Structure 1
Amino acid sequence: MENTVKMQKWPKVFLFGDSLTQLCFSPEGCWGAMLADQLTRRCDILARGFSGYNVRFCKELLPALLDKQTASETVAMTIFLGANDSNNKELNPQQHCPLEEYRQGLKDMVEFAMSQGVSREKIILITPPAVYEPDWRQYCKENGKTAALDNKVTETYAKACLEVADEMGTKKVDVYSRMVKEVDYQKYLSDGLHFSVKGSQLLFSLLWPIVQDLTSDLPELLFPRWDAINAADVKGSLLKA
């Protein structure tokens, strides 16, 4: 059989979470796009975000998304949940997830990812972002939703996320604490909950050093630069890649 250019398996950065992940390639919530830009021709960014989902939902969903093949190609994985879980139980029982269930659900997802072959040092837990309640109440009012988030409650979920990361030995990103260091942290949010461009840039700035380290041993580029290809023997040049 004639030699052909072999199929290239592309390493993956697996992003898992709620709307903050679902929107990670959008114009404002663009932190996933920023990762993709940095990892062009080195990694695929596999975004699996589900608007409105909480840990209870995501724990059941993850086995349908992360099989052993995908896990074997995953060089970094984010789990970014808590923004919905921290809803007030009385006002929004559908999305609310009790703190201890949230904590255990994160542990269960880390353990599942590890069972599939993603080592703990490749898993990154991201805290829910801070909530700016006046803007979120206005957004909910304009869109016929019930405003059921309290930033102080969100803080307890953020702390629980960090505690789980320490307990499980994973990486962690504390975007909540970084946001509330600034009095005008609402600039990081487009509607009081979801990221603005500034918020996406902030998360990227915290996440990228970890992902950069996890991908540091990958080739600088997959397949040779255009000027390294022998124009008289294109196939031969690519076969050597």
Structure 2
Amino acid sequence: MLLSSCSKWEQIFVLLSFLFFIFSSKKQERMRPHFVLFGDSITEQSFRPGGWGAALAVAYSRKADVILRGYGGYNTRWALFLLDGLFPPSCNSPPIAVTVFFGANDAALLGRTSERQYVPVEEYKENLKKIVHRLKELSPTMLVVLITPPPIDEDGRKEYARSLYGKKAAELPERTNEMAGVYAAQCVAVAKELGVPTINLWSKMQETTGWQKKFLSDGLHLTEEGNA
């Protein structure tokens, strides 16, 4: 199902609050509940000051642990290799909720500077399904939230490259907003097929005028306002 609200990150708070209510109402004794944030560098940076992951940790500090598992540069293909270590089949206390936030790297363009991260969109879809299935095998009641890649500010990506490499920077960006939208649409489709919630960050951010500079620090990663 596709969630919609005034704030994109509030959607996560609402879902987790509802799940925590159900979880805490059970009488059996168990260890402190925990959530896992699983994704690429956008997730990795979410514990920085003003980040959405840090906000979750503060909001649930007395109720649950929020565990960061963000891997800069990773795509869904590489994420599959992490599953056994992060979510082992023998786990006795699986997380009660997991956010799965991949796609920005999968959508890198062939023939550009980040092509090694590229994953074909059909494989991206299948990889997302594998991740969700693994999590649901651990716990059928686990809340799994898929988050689409954000939009891409192509001019922002070029400016960022020039700030790093000067005249040696590539003239063309390694990602485009159009391609990010293709992957975002498939993320939404997978969530609908599997019956799990999704946050369409790609669409939601672009509803705001001036989203390019307001929400993105380098054309890809989130500003403090982008985390709000």
TM-score range, shorter chain: 0.7 to 0.9
Which of 2, 14, 20 does residue 42 from structure 2 map onto? 20
Q: Normalized against structure 2, the TM-score is what?
A: 0.79
- Judging changes above 3 Å, is the alpha-carbon distance between structure 1 residues 17 and 118 closer, same or farther for their aligned structure 2 residues? farther
| Residue of structure 2 in register with 1:149 after alignment | 175
User: Alignment partner of 1:123: what SS?
Assistant: strand
Q: Which amino acid aligns with 1:107?
A: K
How many Å apart are 1:37 and its aligned residue? Answer: 1.1
User: Alignment partner of 1:140: what SS?
Assistant: helix
How many Å apart are 1:136 and its aligned residue? Answer: 1.2
Residues matched between the structures, number = 193
Identity, in percent, stands at 35
| Residue of structure 2 in register with 1:188 after alignment | 215
Q: Which amino acid aligns with 1:197?
A: E
| Residue of structure 1 in register with 2:69 after alignment | 48
Once the two structures are superposed, the pairs formed by residues 30-45 of structure 1 within 5 Å of their partners are 30-45=51-66
Q: Distance in 2 between matches of 1:71 and 1:133?
A: 45
Q: Normalized against structure 1, the TM-score is what?
A: 0.75
Q: Distance in 2 between matches of 1:200 and 1:84?
A: 19
Q: Distance in 2 between matches of 1:47 and 1:69?
A: 21
How many Å apart are 1:148 and its aligned residue? Answer: 0.7
1:170 aligns with 2:192: no
Q: Distance in 1 between matches of 2:130 and 2:220?
A: 26
Aligned residues of 1:19 and 1:50 also touching (Cα < 8 A): yes
Q: Which amino acid aligns with 1:191?
A: D
| Residue of structure 2 in register with 1:208 after alignment | none
Which of 103, 117, 129 does residue 139 from structure 2 map onto? 117
1:78 aligns with 2:99: yes
Q: Distance in 2 between matches of 1:45 and 1:87?
A: 29
Aligned residues of 2:96 and 2:141 also touching (Cα < 8 A): no
How many Å apart are 1:188 and its aligned residue? Answer: 0.6
